[in-house]
Structure 1
Amino acid sequence: MAEHNDSGRKAETLAAEWLQGKGYELIAQNYRYKHAEIDLILKHKGLLVFVEVKFRSGTGFGYAEEFVDYAKKKLLVKAADQYIYETDWHNDIRFDIVGVYKDRSGTINFRHFEDAFY
Protein backbone atom coordinates (compact mmCIF):
# COMPACT_ATOMS: atom_id res chain seq x y z
CA MET A 1 0.00 0.00 0.00
CA ALA A 2 1.28 3.48 -0.86
CA GLU A 3 2.55 5.69 1.95
CA HIS A 4 -0.27 8.23 1.45
CA ASN A 5 -2.80 5.39 1.87
CA ASP A 6 -1.13 4.37 5.14
CA SER A 7 -1.26 7.99 6.32
CA GLY A 8 -4.92 8.21 5.36
CA ARG A 9 -5.85 5.03 7.25
CA LYS A 10 -3.91 6.20 10.31
CA ALA A 11 -5.68 9.58 10.11
CA GLU A 12 -9.06 7.82 9.97
CA THR A 13 -8.22 5.82 13.08
CA LEU A 14 -7.02 8.95 14.91
CA ALA A 15 -10.15 10.86 13.86
CA ALA A 16 -12.39 8.00 15.02
CA GLU A 17 -10.68 7.92 18.42
CA TRP A 18 -10.87 11.71 18.71
CA LEU A 19 -14.59 11.75 17.86
CA GLN A 20 -15.28 8.91 20.30
CA GLY A 21 -13.60 11.03 22.96
CA LYS A 22 -16.17 13.73 22.14
CA GLY A 23 -19.06 11.33 22.72
CA TYR A 24 -19.55 9.88 19.24
CA GLU A 25 -20.27 6.16 18.85
CA LEU A 26 -18.35 4.48 16.00
CA ILE A 27 -20.67 2.34 13.87
CA ALA A 28 -18.52 1.57 10.81
CA GLN A 29 -15.20 2.45 9.25
CA ASN A 30 -14.42 2.37 5.52
CA TYR A 31 -17.95 1.51 4.41
CA ARG A 32 -17.89 0.83 0.67
CA TYR A 33 -20.66 0.96 -1.92
CA LYS A 34 -19.62 0.56 -5.56
CA HIS A 35 -17.00 3.29 -6.21
CA ALA A 36 -17.76 5.23 -3.04
CA GLU A 37 -16.29 4.92 0.42
CA ILE A 38 -17.37 6.57 3.64
CA ASP A 39 -14.43 6.85 6.03
CA LEU A 40 -16.42 6.86 9.27
CA ILE A 41 -20.05 6.33 10.21
CA LEU A 42 -20.94 7.36 13.74
CA LYS A 43 -23.95 8.11 15.91
CA HIS A 44 -24.13 11.29 17.95
CA LYS A 45 -27.10 12.80 19.78
CA GLY A 46 -29.61 10.81 17.73
CA LEU A 47 -27.98 11.61 14.40
CA LEU A 48 -26.26 9.27 11.99
CA VAL A 49 -23.06 11.10 11.01
CA PHE A 50 -21.11 10.31 7.85
CA VAL A 51 -17.55 11.60 8.08
CA GLU A 52 -14.96 12.22 5.38
CA VAL A 53 -11.45 12.33 6.88
CA LYS A 54 -8.67 14.25 5.16
CA PHE A 55 -5.04 14.14 6.27
CA ARG A 56 -2.65 17.01 5.67
CA SER A 57 0.95 17.36 6.76
CA GLY A 58 0.53 21.11 6.83
CA THR A 59 -1.72 23.71 5.28
CA GLY A 60 0.60 24.98 2.53
CA PHE A 61 -1.63 23.48 -0.14
CA GLY A 62 -4.92 24.28 1.59
CA TYR A 63 -7.18 22.98 4.28
CA ALA A 64 -8.82 19.57 4.33
CA GLU A 65 -12.31 20.82 3.63
CA GLU A 66 -11.11 22.31 0.35
CA PHE A 67 -10.31 18.84 -0.97
CA VAL A 68 -13.84 17.47 -0.79
CA ASP A 69 -15.14 18.46 -4.21
CA TYR A 70 -18.57 18.10 -5.80
CA ALA A 71 -17.81 14.66 -7.28
CA LYS A 72 -16.62 13.33 -3.90
CA LYS A 73 -19.69 14.73 -2.14
CA LYS A 74 -21.94 13.09 -4.72
CA LEU A 75 -20.26 9.70 -4.12
CA LEU A 76 -20.54 10.11 -0.34
CA VAL A 77 -24.26 10.88 -0.58
CA LYS A 78 -24.79 7.86 -2.85
CA ALA A 79 -23.02 5.55 -0.38
CA ALA A 80 -24.88 7.11 2.56
CA ASP A 81 -28.21 6.54 0.79
CA GLN A 82 -27.30 2.86 0.41
CA TYR A 83 -26.23 2.57 4.06
CA ILE A 84 -29.48 4.21 5.20
CA TYR A 85 -31.43 1.76 3.05
CA GLU A 86 -29.47 -1.29 4.31
CA THR A 87 -29.88 -0.36 7.96
CA ASP A 88 -33.44 0.97 7.65
CA TRP A 89 -32.42 4.26 9.33
CA HIS A 90 -35.34 6.67 9.78
CA ASN A 91 -33.81 9.51 11.79
CA ASP A 92 -31.76 12.55 10.80
CA ILE A 93 -28.32 12.40 9.23
CA ARG A 94 -25.37 14.74 8.85
CA PHE A 95 -22.24 14.92 6.70
CA ASP A 96 -19.06 16.11 8.41
CA ILE A 97 -15.46 16.60 7.38
CA VAL A 98 -12.60 16.05 9.81
CA GLY A 99 -9.22 17.46 8.89
CA VAL A 100 -6.26 15.74 10.54
CA TYR A 101 -3.16 17.93 10.51
CA LYS A 102 0.39 17.03 11.44
CA ASP A 103 2.62 20.00 12.19
CA ARG A 104 6.40 20.19 11.83
CA SER A 105 6.95 18.91 15.36
CA GLY A 106 4.75 15.87 14.66
CA THR A 107 1.82 17.09 16.75
CA ILE A 108 -1.58 15.99 15.48
CA ASN A 109 -4.40 18.53 15.40
CA PHE A 110 -8.01 18.19 14.27
CA ARG A 111 -10.51 20.53 12.57
CA HIS A 112 -14.10 19.33 12.62
CA PHE A 113 -16.61 20.76 10.17
CA GLU A 114 -20.07 19.68 11.25
CA ASP A 115 -22.85 19.67 8.70
CA ALA A 116 -20.26 20.42 6.01
CA PHE A 117 -22.51 19.68 3.03
CA TYR A 118 -25.64 18.06 1.63
Structure 2
Amino acid sequence: MAEHNELGKEGEKLAIDFLLKNGYKILETNYRYLKAEVDIIAKKDNTLAVVEVKTRSTDYFGNPQDFVNPKKIKLLLSAIDYYVVDKDLDVDVRFDIIAIIYQKKETKIEHLEDAFLHF
Protein backbone atom coordinates (compact mmCIF):
# COMPACT_ATOMS: atom_id res chain seq x y z
CA MET A 1 0.00 0.00 0.00
CA ALA A 2 1.28 3.46 -0.83
CA GLU A 3 2.61 5.51 2.07
CA HIS A 4 -0.10 8.19 1.70
CA ASN A 5 -2.82 5.50 1.86
CA GLU A 6 -1.33 4.14 5.09
CA LEU A 7 -1.21 7.67 6.50
CA GLY A 8 -4.87 8.15 5.58
CA LYS A 9 -5.91 4.88 7.24
CA GLU A 10 -3.96 5.79 10.38
CA GLY A 11 -5.66 9.20 10.39
CA GLU A 12 -9.09 7.60 10.14
CA LYS A 13 -8.30 5.37 13.13
CA LEU A 14 -7.20 8.41 15.14
CA ALA A 15 -10.37 10.28 14.12
CA ILE A 16 -12.61 7.38 15.16
CA ASP A 17 -10.89 7.16 18.55
CA PHE A 18 -11.21 10.94 18.95
CA LEU A 19 -14.94 10.87 18.15
CA LEU A 20 -15.63 7.92 20.47
CA LYS A 21 -13.82 9.68 23.32
CA ASN A 22 -16.00 12.73 22.70
CA GLY A 23 -19.32 10.91 22.95
CA TYR A 24 -20.06 10.06 19.32
CA LYS A 25 -21.42 6.74 18.13
CA ILE A 26 -19.83 5.56 14.87
CA LEU A 27 -22.53 4.45 12.41
CA GLU A 28 -20.46 3.93 9.25
CA THR A 29 -16.90 4.15 8.03
CA ASN A 30 -15.90 4.47 4.40
CA TYR A 31 -19.55 4.66 3.32
CA ARG A 32 -19.85 4.66 -0.48
CA TYR A 33 -22.59 6.06 -2.67
CA LEU A 34 -22.00 6.36 -6.42
CA LYS A 35 -18.67 8.23 -6.73
CA ALA A 36 -18.66 9.50 -3.15
CA GLU A 37 -16.92 8.06 -0.14
CA VAL A 38 -17.74 9.37 3.31
CA ASP A 39 -14.93 8.70 5.77
CA ILE A 40 -17.06 8.58 8.92
CA ILE A 41 -20.75 8.93 9.69
CA ALA A 42 -21.25 9.41 13.40
CA LYS A 43 -24.10 10.43 15.66
CA LYS A 44 -24.20 12.46 18.84
CA ASP A 45 -27.55 13.26 20.40
CA ASN A 46 -29.83 14.05 17.43
CA THR A 47 -27.04 15.22 15.12
CA LEU A 48 -25.59 13.17 12.32
CA ALA A 49 -21.97 14.21 11.88
CA VAL A 50 -20.59 13.59 8.41
CA VAL A 51 -16.84 13.60 8.91
CA GLU A 52 -14.17 14.06 6.27
CA VAL A 53 -10.77 13.10 7.66
CA LYS A 54 -7.71 14.84 6.23
CA THR A 55 -4.33 13.63 7.41
CA ARG A 56 -0.97 15.09 6.47
CA SER A 57 2.53 14.47 7.75
CA THR A 58 3.29 18.20 7.65
CA ASP A 59 1.50 21.51 7.26
CA TYR A 60 4.23 22.77 4.92
CA PHE A 61 1.82 22.89 1.95
CA GLY A 62 -1.15 24.11 4.00
CA ASN A 63 -3.54 22.88 6.66
CA PRO A 64 -5.14 19.47 6.05
CA GLN A 65 -8.63 20.99 5.87
CA ASP A 66 -7.54 23.19 2.97
CA PHE A 67 -7.54 20.10 0.76
CA VAL A 68 -11.32 19.58 0.85
CA ASN A 69 -12.48 20.97 -2.49
CA PRO A 70 -15.95 21.95 -3.78
CA LYS A 71 -16.22 18.76 -5.86
CA LYS A 72 -15.69 16.63 -2.72
CA ILE A 73 -18.26 18.69 -0.83
CA LYS A 74 -20.82 18.15 -3.60
CA LEU A 75 -20.20 14.39 -3.54
CA LEU A 76 -20.55 14.26 0.25
CA LEU A 77 -23.82 16.21 0.11
CA SER A 78 -25.35 13.79 -2.41
CA ALA A 79 -24.16 10.73 -0.47
CA ILE A 80 -25.61 11.93 2.81
CA ASP A 81 -28.86 13.04 1.22
CA TYR A 82 -29.24 9.47 -0.04
CA TYR A 83 -28.13 7.97 3.30
CA VAL A 84 -30.62 9.95 5.39
CA VAL A 85 -33.53 9.13 3.07
CA ASP A 86 -32.52 5.45 2.71
CA LYS A 87 -32.25 4.98 6.49
CA ASP A 88 -35.38 7.12 7.10
CA LEU A 89 -33.53 9.25 9.66
CA ASP A 90 -34.99 12.29 11.40
CA VAL A 91 -31.78 14.04 12.44
CA ASP A 92 -29.93 17.28 12.06
CA VAL A 93 -26.99 16.88 9.68
CA ARG A 94 -23.65 18.56 10.15
CA PHE A 95 -20.52 18.33 7.99
CA ASP A 96 -17.26 18.24 9.91
CA ILE A 97 -13.61 17.93 9.07
CA ILE A 98 -11.11 16.27 11.34
CA ALA A 99 -7.72 17.65 10.36
CA ILE A 100 -4.73 15.65 11.53
CA ILE A 101 -1.05 16.40 11.29
CA TYR A 102 0.49 13.03 12.08
CA GLN A 103 4.13 13.07 13.03
CA LYS A 104 6.12 10.58 15.05
CA LYS A 105 6.87 13.02 17.89
CA GLU A 106 3.61 14.96 17.95
CA THR A 107 0.17 14.46 16.45
CA LYS A 108 -2.27 17.36 16.22
CA ILE A 109 -6.01 16.70 15.83
CA GLU A 110 -8.42 19.53 15.08
CA HIS A 111 -12.17 18.93 14.88
CA LEU A 112 -13.86 21.55 12.72
CA GLU A 113 -17.62 21.36 13.25
CA ASP A 114 -19.91 22.72 10.50
CA ALA A 115 -16.78 23.05 8.38
CA PHE A 116 -18.57 23.54 5.07
CA LEU A 117 -20.22 26.77 6.23
CA HIS A 118 -16.85 28.41 5.55
CA PHE A 119 -16.64 27.39 1.87
In the alignment, the residues of structure 2 paired with residue 12 and residue 88 of structure 1 have an alpha-carbon distance, to the nearest angstrom, of 26
Does the 8 A contact of 2:98 with 2:111 survive in 1? Answer: yes
Task: Provide the aligned length of Structure 1 versus Structure 2.
Answer: 117
Q: Where in structure 2 are there 5+ consecutive unaligned residues?
A: none
Does the 8 A contact of 2:7 with 2:56 survive in 1? Answer: no
Q: Per-residue deviation at 1:106?
A: 3.0
Task: Normalising by structure 2, report the TM-score.
Answer: 0.92
Shift >2 Å, 4+ stretches:
none
Task: Provide the aligned C-alpha RMSD in A.
Answer: 1.2
Any idea what the Cα deviations from partners look like across 1:88-117, whole Å, max 9, x if unmatched?
A: 1122110000011123x4322201110011
In the alignment, the residues of structure 2 paired with residue 56 and residue 99 of structure 1 have an alpha-carbon distance, to the nearest angstrom, of 8
Task: Normalising by structure 1, report the TM-score.
Answer: 0.93
In the alignment, the residues of structure 1 paired with residue 47 and residue 22 of structure 2 have an alpha-carbon distance, to the nearest angstrom, of 14
In the alignment, the residues of structure 1 paired with residue 76 and residue 35 of structure 2 have an alpha-carbon distance, to the nearest angstrom, of 10
In the alignment, the residues of structure 1 paired with residue 6 and residue 83 of structure 2 have an alpha-carbon distance, to the nearest angstrom, of 25
Aligned-residue sequence identity (percent) comes to 43
